Amino acid sequence: LRGHSHWSYEDLKHWSTDYSDCGGTKQSPINVDTAQATFSPDLRPIQLSGYSLPANKQLKLKNNGHTVVLELPESLALTGGYAQQYRAVQLHLHWGSPLGPGSEHTINGRRFPAEIHVVHYNTKYDSFTEAMVHPDGLAVLGAFLEVGHGENQYYHEILKHLFEIQEVGQETLVPGFNIAGLLPANLKLYFHYNGSLTTPPCYQTVKWTIFNQTMLLSHNQMSMLVSSLRTDDDKLLQSNYRPVQNLHGRRVLASFQ
Ligand SMILES: NS(=O)(=O)c1c(F)c(F)c(SCCc2ccc(C(=O)O)cc2)c(F)c1NC1CCCCCCC1
Ligand SMILES: [Zn+2]
């Protein structure tokens, strides 16, 4: 993955020359046109197990030059909503700048201030790297972040460490907490579609779940997110989102009407 870090959000055109899947027909992110989404009553509530981690479980938080990544133990598992079991790999965020929002997915053309992705791999494969090249290999849970009134205590567990990893490659340790608190309380309402990693190598191996309920952060927390991290040319790491990709006939399912 080290070799994948020389791309940037500025030269998107070259992604598909260096990584052929980036030019594929099942790419992410997408715009969700809610009027075109198909209600699918057999979409079950997403169920998380093992997401509540004790404080003595230290998690690595890293600035990898493209986002902030929190590495997750495989003890976190997706046990509902997907036909097979998936285990957590990492979570990371996408955000904008003081000039504009930075979610990756959009809803009816609306871009949200930020978006969290919790990445999992299908346990029928021996490892994440093995899973990530199979169409049913990965499951990513996505939720939008908006500015509300109060501080979000769960996001604070990550945001309060950002100053320690301002430079690319820096990492720090975060005490365990209830990772489920980073996702909506209502895991029944979501959109579902087959897509890809939104970064090179853009493998088309992700079953995406985008929750309908958004997460609320304070204004201060959102500004910490958009103005703490730097990239490898010492500029602020901002607007780390890929433009929405064509559906090419794919259907988006909705677990609700
Ligand atoms: N939205 S997403 O899930 O596609 C995604 C992004 F959009 C991302 F932008 C990222 S970060 C860019 C990829 C990367 C670069 C460097 C390092 C490192 O030095 O450790 C690691 C990763 C990023 F890490 C991920 N998720 C990754 C996809 C990259 C390859 C496998 C790693 C787990 C999932
Ligand atoms: Zn992502």
- Residue-wise pLDDT for 213-243, tens only, equals 999 999 999 999 999 999 988 899 999 999 9
pTM for the full predicted model: 0.97
Look at residues 103, 133, 99 and name the one whose alpha carbon lies nearest to residue 30. 103
Contact criterion met (CB below 8 Å) for 80 and 133: no
Give the residue, by CA position, lying nearest to ligand 1 atom 20.
64
At 54, is the pLDDT very low, low, confident or very high (cuts 50, 70, 90)? very high
- Here the tokens at position 167 are 């430079």
pLDDT tens column, 160-178: 999 999 999 999 999 999 9
For residue 121, what pLDDT band results from cuts at 50, 70 and 90? very high
Which of 71, 199, 207 best tests ligand 1's pocket when mutated (most atoms within 8 Å of CB)? 199
pLDDT of 1 reads: 43
The whole-angstrom separation of Cα 94 and Cα 80 is: 25
Catalytic residues: 66
Q: How confident is the model at residue 2 (pLDDT cuts 50, 70, 90)?
A: very low
Contact between residue 178 and residue 154 where contact means Cβ atoms under 8 Å apart: yes
Under 8 Å between Cβ of 198 and 119: no
Beta carbon of 244 within 6 Å of any ligand 1 atom: no
Rounded CA-CA distance 206/203 in Å is: 8
- The finding on whether 198 has its CB within 6 A of some atom of ligand 1 is yes
Closest CA to 124 of 113, 135, 114: 135
* 177-201 pLDDT tens trace: 999 999 999 999 999 999 999 999 9
Q: Which helix (H) or strand (E) holds 139?
A: strand 138-147
Pairing assessment for the beta strands 86-95 and 110-111 based on DSSP bridges: unpaired
Residue 141 alpha carbon to ligand 2 centre in Å: 9
CA pair distance 85, 187, nearest whole angstrom: 16
The whole-number pLDDT of residue 234 equals 87
Confidence of residue 252 (pLDDT cuts 50, 70, 90): very high
Measure the CA–CA gap between 81 and 199, rounded to whole angstroms. Answer: 25
**Is the shortest distance between the CB of 88 and ligand 1 below 6 Å?**
no
* Ligand 1 atom closest to the CA of 169, numbered from 1: 19
Nearest Cα neighbor of 19 from 5, 31, 30 is 5
As a whole number, mean pLDDT of residues 83-93 equals: 97
Counting Cα atoms < 13 Å in the Cβ hemisphere of 226 gives 23
Mean per-residue pLDDT, 75-84: 94
pLDDT for the residue numbered 249: 98
Residue 181, classed as helix, strand or coil, is helix
Q: How far is the CA of 194 from the centre of ligand 2 (A)?
A: 15
Cα(73) to centroid of ligand 1, in Å? 16
% pLDDT > 90, the chain = 94
**Ligand with minimal distance to 139 CA:** 1
